Amino acid sequence: MANLHPHNHDHCIRTAIQRAQTVCEQQGVRLTPVRRRVLELVWQNHKPTGAYELLPQLAADGFNSAPPTVYRALDFLLEIGLIHRISSLNAFIGCDHPGGQHPTGFFICTDCGNAAELPAARLQAFSAELEQVMGVQVASSSYELTGLCGVCRLKP
């Protein structure tokens, strides 16, 4: 689970890029400069990031900042499992377990806006239990929990 506490995100970004390079090599796809920069921007903090929030930074960095360019990069990163889309916010967040499809769930702090990916193993167990109890077959799942993170909960 991502660290919701304030910290330097350089380590998060470096780790995400290293994982992305490995995943891209394994899948035989390219992490182009614009895809890499979009991934870095998504990981620059733990707040879900909307596509249009990325445009000014991409333009400042000298990339084509047209919305289709950003959406193509985000679609690529989603498709190969490097980021997730948080439906309720129409925003994106880095994946803690890149490269494979797994149930997704997020805790989103309603005060600071930080988000963290929930442990996939627990979500898989919950989905399996629902299938058994309710007699259904889950095709995909996404869970979103909201509330106060540990830091915000302790604020006076």
pLDDT digit string (tens) for 92-121?
999 887 766 777 889 999 999 999 888 878
Those residues of the chain that have pLDDT short of 50 are 1, 3
Encode burial over 50-74: b for 16+ CB neighbours within 10 A, e otherwise: ebeebbebbeeeebebeeebbeebb
In whole angstroms, what is the distance from residue 5 CA to residue 94 CA?
16
DSSP state string for 137-150: --S--EEEEEE--H
Helix axes 51-60, 67-79, angle to 10 degrees: 110
- pLDDT for residue 1: 44
pTM of the model: 0.85
Ordered domains of the chain (ranges, CATH):
10-153 (1.10.10.10)
The tokens of 24 are what?
Answer: 């891209």
